[in-house]
Amino acid sequence: MTFEAFAGHPVFKTQMLETVRARWSARALAPSLDLNWKREGQPDSIGGTLAETQDRGEFELRTGIPADLAQLCELLIAAGVRTSDAPDGAAGFSLEGADALLAFGIEWLDAIRPGADLGLIVPLFARHCLDLLLKPEFDLAAHISLELRDVGFRILILWGRELAGQGTTRAEWRDVQRAAMAATANDAGAWSYRIATFIEAIAWPVRSVSREFAGLFEPFLFNWSMYLETAFMTDEERTDREHLLLGWKALATAPRDEAGNIDVDPLDALPESRRVISSDHIARTMDRVLAVREAARGRKDELIRSLMDAVLTLIRGA
């Protein structure tokens, strides 16, 4: 599919951005992966306000911008800002975050050249992220098994061929998907679960998986952000965080019935995970959790801003 941003008209772009710019400056919009627009009980999003719709197809028709790009940008902002209820405020909610992250709300739109085909931005960003993840200096590199790393490189190679205009076959992808699922099954690490499930989920032609990418990237990015916090924790807190992640993994992977209910509580076999997930533990440690979160804010903001800059570079190059 070929996209043409703002139908190639600078005036159309200016008009479409006018409302978004005003409302974003007033902090009357909240970033949302769902591109919220006039959804009951939810603030409007940047993308939803731009196109006056939350339907992905309609968004693309009205703006000439891929919905997956809008979703990715909303996700990056949401990852770095805090939205909280403020019933007395004009917008009914408040938005807090570093200026450098909030600026992105309009930056990515301003960066778009009317007429640009932005169809490859998310695929190229996906490749950039996978490449980052596989580098030895990646924050969580020590938690990625050789088996999983091998799968990641195989995906990168296939994506490279696809983006170079060469073909890839269904058989090649099936092999990679099988290897990815095997790597996930063999992996027992607390921090690696979200990395493994991310790699497994993106094991598809990159143009095809770009439509899903923002939703797949979100838990991976959240996991990465959580890891950055551990630099500000005590040894005991780091251990507790690993118990938390193992508990979440057990709950996510527990067998369920057709209604989605879990038959056997997986935390029965993980007493330490049960302890740290308990409301009592959460209440007792909340002050400390918030302090760690705040201490890590700079590092996390730096990460998110670097990802935003990667998106901006790609948009400006389109």
Binding site for other proteins (CB under 8 A): 33-34, 39-40, 56-57, 68, 177, 180-181, 197, 200-201, 203-204, 208-209, 211-212, 215-216, 255-256, 258-260
> Which CB sits closer to other proteins, 44 or 200?
200
Tell me the closest approach of the beta carbon of residue 201 to other proteins, in angstroms: 4
Contact in structure between 216 and 223 (CB atoms under 8 Å): no
Tell me the closest approach of the beta carbon of residue 213 to other proteins, in angstroms: 9
Alpha helices in the chain (DSSP H): 10-25, 46-51, 56-63, 67-80, 99-102, 104-110, 121-133, 146-163, 170-185, 192-201, 206-229, 235-253, 271-277, 279-295, 297-316
> Which CB sits closer to other proteins, 40 or 280?
40
Q: Which of 243, 242, 237 is nearest to 271 (CA)?
A: 243
> Which CB sits closer to other proteins, 68 or 301?
68
> Which CB sits closer to other proteins, 17 or 203?
203
> Which CB sits closer to other proteins, 208 or 234?
208
> Which CB sits closer to other proteins, 136 or 255?
255
Tell me the closest approach of the beta carbon of residue 203 to other proteins, in angstroms: 6
Tell me the closest approach of the beta carbon of residue 252 to other proteins, in angstroms: 10
The alpha carbon dihedral of 92, 97, 102, 105 has a sign of: negative
Label residues 235-252 b or e (16+ Cβ within 10 Å = b).
Answer: eebeebbbbbbbbbbbee
Tell me the closest approach of the beta carbon of residue 121 to other proteins, in angstroms: 16
Task: Report the alpha-carbon distance of residue 269 to residue 291 in Å, rounded.
Answer: 31
Tell me the closest approach of the beta carbon of residue 177 to other proteins, in angstroms: 5
Owner of token pair 């205009």: 165
Task: Report the alpha-carbon distance of residue 222 to residue 194 in Å, rounded.
Answer: 9
Task: Report the alpha-carbon distance of residue 101 to residue 53 in Å, rounded.
Answer: 24
